[in-house]
Amino acid sequence: MKPPPFAYAAPTTLEEAVGLLTEHAEAEPRVLAGGQSLIPLMNFRLAKPGYLVDLRNVAGLSGIRRDGDILVIGAMTRMSEVERSPEVAVAAPLLAEAIGLVAHAPVRNSGTVGGSLAHADPAAELPAVALALDAELVAAGPGGTRVIPAAGFFQGPYSTALAPDEILTEIRLPVWPGGHAFTEFSRVHANFAVVAVAALVELDGDSDWIRRAALALAGVAPTPVRAVSAERALAGASGDAETIRAAADAAAADLSPAGDLHASPETRRGLARTYLRRAIELAVSRARNER
């Protein structure tokens, strides 16, 4: 229940941090952000990195700013800062709502947005938010920086498009012009979700017709997934209860979730259907009320 020994550095620049990851590649280095997932894994000896590159002294990795229609969040920004940010409440209320469901407040005081995304737990909330919003993730590596769309970022459980010598530096979230909702089922408040749903709905002008919807689920596949058939069923349709129910049914039918001790495949599919319906209904009603 204590971490195994490892070498450690807390560089002050991104170049230095990337250089250390390259230089110590044979030690299977890991990046340390808030440590709220990595350190428990090390305590359990489930992760045994030979080298930790701590990002806490690297300048410029933390902060929240608006860049036109994009909300930019530094990878090292603590979740509690995002949770309390008036800017996030306006520009990305879906993210603010989801973060309130991530673990408990003391974990959010240390845990970072980038850390959660790079850890890529298949039941985590923030990857589903990134996927629903078509976020862009910016990574720095030996060859410079590159932008990775969320749709290509999550590759499997705890597995992302980041190369071993790349560091996630910021996440760029497009501002969604409409209603949002984040709903989840978990056995105990603040546990990982069994099933979580991120829903975004944009209405057509002043009508009740849905122009487009973006829906992502966590906990039903090795990575977060978009509920594509529900998005198609909703686009151009009215936001009435029957349409929403049919869309949620269609999306749930597409899923083939694995079972584990928390829930069987059938339970997960049933939860996905119910929570999708609730999330879409809430997003539609907010889209109506907020225009």
Partner 1 sequence: MAPDTRTISLTVNGQPHVAQAEPRRLLVDFLREDLGLTGTHIGCEHGVCGTCTVLLNGASIRSCITLAVQADGASIDTVEGLAQGGEMHPLQDEFSEKQGLQCGYCTPGMLMRACEILARNPDPTAAQVREAIASNLCRCTGYQFIIEAVIAAAARMRATQEVAP
- For partner 1, the closer of residues 3 and 93 by Cβ is 3
Partner residues linked to 112 by β-bridges: 78
Phi and psi, residue 182, nearest 5°: -125, 120
- For partner 1, the closer of residues 104 and 146 by Cβ is 104
CA quadruple 47, 48, 50, 54: dihedral sign: positive
- For partner 1, the closer of residues 86 and 144 by Cβ is 86
- For partner 1, the closer of residues 44 and 208 by Cβ is 44
Q: How far is the CB of 33 from partner 1 (least distance, A)?
A: 10
Cα separation, 83 vs 105, in Å, equals: 10
- For partner 1, the closer of residues 189 and 205 by Cβ is 189
Q: How far is the CB of 5 from partner 1 (least distance, A)?
A: 6
Q: How far is the CB of 223 from partner 1 (least distance, A)?
A: 24
Which amino acid is it at 139?
A
Q: How far is the CB of 217 from partner 1 (least distance, A)?
A: 25
Contacts with partner 1 by CB under 8 A lie at 1-8, 10, 32, 35-36, 39-40, 42-44, 52, 54, 56, 80, 104-107, 109-110, 189-190
H or E element at residue 31: strand 30-32
Tell me, rounded to whole angstroms, the distance of Cα 92 from its chain centroid. 13
H or E element at residue 66: strand 64-67
Neighbours of 47 (CB within 10 A): 18
Q: How far is the CB of 203 from partner 1 (least distance, A)?
A: 33
